[in-house]
């Protein structure tokens, strides 16, 4: 059972953004600062990747740790819901399955995929910068 009213829960959920999140904006700033140009959220690609480097056939997803089920041990951004678990557990499992499916489809289409996690944009920014540079410079 949820601890807050359905109306309040609906309002909270309505405010959650899928584009232009703080982790995404951090990654976009890093990439732009490195001199790379990209397109955002191309709807013709599976999963509408956050950053798309068309000529390189590379995409970057910036995943929220909670919504996409980050499994790294010690990730402080993954919270397992304590209420309404009958809804949340299947919902979050479907999100993870969808992410795997989109990544597989992109690879089948000849795209290379990099995933950056929300916690990395907070705790490991220098590492994220190196990973992105290596990913975009590889053939």
Residue 89 lies inside a defined structural domain of this protein:
yes
Element (H, E) at 12: helix 6-14
- In the predicted structure, residue 1 carries a pLDDT above the cut 60: no
Predicted confidence at residue 99, as pLDDT, reads 97
User: Using 50, 70 and 90 to split pLDDT, how confident is the model at 13?
Assistant: low
Q: Are 107 and 2 in contact (CB under 8 A)?
A: no
Contact predicate 71/16, CB 8 Å: no
pTM of the model: 0.86
Nearest to 28 by CA among 51, 10, 46, 2: 51
- Averaged pLDDT for residues 47-55: 96
Tell me what pLDDT residue 3 has. 73
Residue 1 lies in a domain: no
CATH number at residue 89: 3.40.960.10
Asked if residue 116 belongs to a domain, the reply is yes
DSSP assignment string, 86-118: HHHHHHHHHHHHHHHHHHHHHHHTT-EEEEEEH
Does 110 map to a domain? yes
Q: Tell whether 25 is covered by a domain.
A: yes
Which residue, 61, 54, 62, 63, is CA-closest to 110? Answer: 54
Going edge to edge, which strands form the sheet with 58-63?
39-40, 51-53, 58-63, 112-117
d(CA 90, CA 59): 27
Range(s) of the domain holding residue 73 = 6-137
Please report whether residue 43 resides in a domain: yes
Quote the number of domains for the chain: 1
Contact between 136 and 58 (Cβ < 8 Å): yes
Question: Is 11 within a domain?
Answer: yes
């Amino acid at each position: 059972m949820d601890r807050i009213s359905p109306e309040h829960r609906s309002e909270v959920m309505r405010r959650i953004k899928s584009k232009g999140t703080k982790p995404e904006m951090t990654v976009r700033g890093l990439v732009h600062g490195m001199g790379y140009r990209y397109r955002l959220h191309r709807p013709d690609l599976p999963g509408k990747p956050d950053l798309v480097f068309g000529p390189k056939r590379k995409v970057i997803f910036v995943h929220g740790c909670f919504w996409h089920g980050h499994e790294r041990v010690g990730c402080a951004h993954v919270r397992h819901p304590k209420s309404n678990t009958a809804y949340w557990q299947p919902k979050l499992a479907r999100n993870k399955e969808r992410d795997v499916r989109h990544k597989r489809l992109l690879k089948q289409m000849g795209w290379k995929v990099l995933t950056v996690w929300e916690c990395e944009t907070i705790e490991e920014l220098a590492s994220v910068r190196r990973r992105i540079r290596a990913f975009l410079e590889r053939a």
